[in-house]
Amino acid sequence: MRLFVFLPLLGLAVAGCATQQQRVQTRTATIAVADPATQMRPLEDRVYKLVLDERQTIDPAAKPLALDPILMDVARKRSVDMAAKGYFADRAPDGTTSASLVMDEDAKFQGLLGVNMAAQHYTKQSGVDVEQFAHRFLDTWLASQSHKQNLAFPDYNRTGVGCAINGDTVYVTQLFATDLGLPPPKEDTKKDSVAAMPSPQAAKSAMQSKKPALRAEPEWPED
């Protein structure tokens, strides 16, 4: 089996500005703020729907994204792990990645796996406004050429979104996948191979031309 991975990564962003937070704090003096932890599932759903709409705006011919249970599970695990351990990267301190977790859960997974991540700070006074945070995450990805290219790649047909929270930060991971039209792997397929690629299109071209997987460390594009 062969798995290509495209993973642009953004630095931690501070959500909102001082004047916005002041207005929110004034408003919350009289309005109860929902527990931020209870907003993670609604936030996942809103990010998913915003990305769906944006893909169709960018390319009306883009395939629709079905929610995949394995991708949902892995996306949540990645965000939960980052929130619990206080790091921001696809490779966890124990060495696991989104790709390794997906292949652990589905031994026959192959094709292209795309990973978009982002994180934003929040305050306990203002809480987590689902609509605002979902739009901030989308806007952050759209402002990055590599992230935008990833979420807009028209061949992706499966996705999973996972959000998690700690004392002051919300983490989001969105995974995208396509088998690139590959036939199901045979039972005697050799050990899995994972190659990092500079773009989804590069992975597709490599697969179509049957080039060998690259084993070098990824060099993600600068925005």
Where does the pLDDT of residue 172 fall: very low under 50, low under 70, confident under 90, or very high at 90 and above?
Answer: very high
pLDDT tens-digit map of 96-146: 999 999 999 988 888 899 999 999 999 988 899 999 999 999 999 999 999
Percent of the chain predicted with pLDDT > 70: 76
Q: Check residue 7 and give its pLDDT.
A: 58
Is residue 86 predicted with pLDDT exceeding 80? yes
CA-based nearest residue to 4, from 146, 184, 200, 159: 200
Distant-in-sequence, close-in-space partners of 25: CB < 8 Å, separation ≥ 6:
123, 125, 126
pLDDT tens-digit map of 27-39: 444 467 889 999 9
Token pair listed for 67: 């929610």
pTM for the whole structure: 0.81
How many residues appear in the chain? 223
- Over residues 201-214, the mean pLDDT reads 66
Q: How far apart are CA 138 and CA 21, in angstroms?
A: 20
Bigger pLDDT: 190 or 75? 75
